[in-house]
Amino acid sequence: MIDHVSIAVRDLAASAALYDKALAPLGLTRLVSRAATVGFGKTYPEFWLNARPDASPAPPDNGTHICLRAPDEAAVRAFHAAALASGCVSAGDPGPRQGLMTGYIAAFITDPDGNKIEAATFPKKA
């Protein structure tokens, strides 16, 4: 249903370096680098960073967040750890969650621009 998403960042180079590390456990790599935008994905850019050097950080709890699919729980944990090591803050430690339809494993981070990003995996039931 959704083809790609974009987030605004004030420092494109710093944010690209941060997301290089945080997205790697999810299988996303930098595919496009331009003067004002960087795109990450598996085979085509699905997650974009757009330079907005004059923007203010998003206010806390503004209700907007993006969830990226992780292949397994280890990837969720690695995403969270890499993001924290790169300057993000935790908005929810890795662990089980109960959604409306099913349980899942997820972690949430907030980047230096106030963007809330989640990594989630939906384990198969035995």
Predicted confidence at residue 27, as pLDDT, reads 97
- 22, 38 Cβ separation under 8 angstroms: no
Domains of the chain: 5-53+64-121 (3.10.180.10)
Taking the chain (126 residues) in runs of 10, the rounded mean pLDDT of each run is 93 98 98 98 97 90 90 98 97 94 95 96 80
User: 3-state DSSP call for residue 114?
Assistant: coil
Q: What is the pLDDT of residue 120?
A: 97
pLDDT of 64 reads: 83
What pLDDT sits at residue 59? 85
> For residue 1, what pLDDT is reported?
77
